[in-house]
């Protein structure tokens, strides 16, 4: 395992190959996360943030109107 890693680290690559590998790695990480969210059924949208107006409009916010 150590020899394999050493061979990979000593391999010369061009700038274009390096950027392609890094781009593929980044796309894989973000794509994998999106795929997991899709498979688990969780929404990709952010959760609804309740504003103070919503709290005042409810019975829990104080007086009933």
User: What residues contact residue 44 under an 8 Å CB cut-off, 6+ apart?
Assistant: 34, 37, 38
Query: Residue 61 in contact with residue 55, Cβ under 8 Å?
Result: yes
Of residues 57 and 13, the one with the higher pLDDT is: 13
pLDDT at 58: 58
Distance of CA 47 to the CA centre of its chain: 15
Q: What's the pLDDT tens digit per position in 16-54?
A: 999 999 999 999 988 888 888 888 876 655 555 555 555
Rounded to 5 degrees, φ, ψ at 21 are -65, -45
Check whether 7 has a pLDDT greater than 80: yes
Query: Could you give the dihedral angle defined by the CA atoms of residues 56, 58, 62 and 65, in that order, rounded to the nearest 10 degrees?
Result: 90
Instruction: Output the pTM of the full model.
Output: 0.45
DSSP 14: -
pLDDT at 48: 54
What is the number of structural domains in the chain? 1
Structural domain range at position 51 = 2-61
């Amino acid at each position: 395992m150590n020899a394999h890693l050493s061979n990979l680290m000593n391999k010369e690559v061009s700038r274009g190959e390096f950027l392609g590998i890094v781009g593929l790695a980044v796309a894989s990480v973000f794509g994998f996360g999106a795929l997991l969210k899709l498979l688990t059924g969780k929404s990709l949208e952010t959760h609804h943030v309740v504003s103070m107006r919503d709290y005042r409009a409810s019975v829990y916010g104080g007086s009933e109107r």
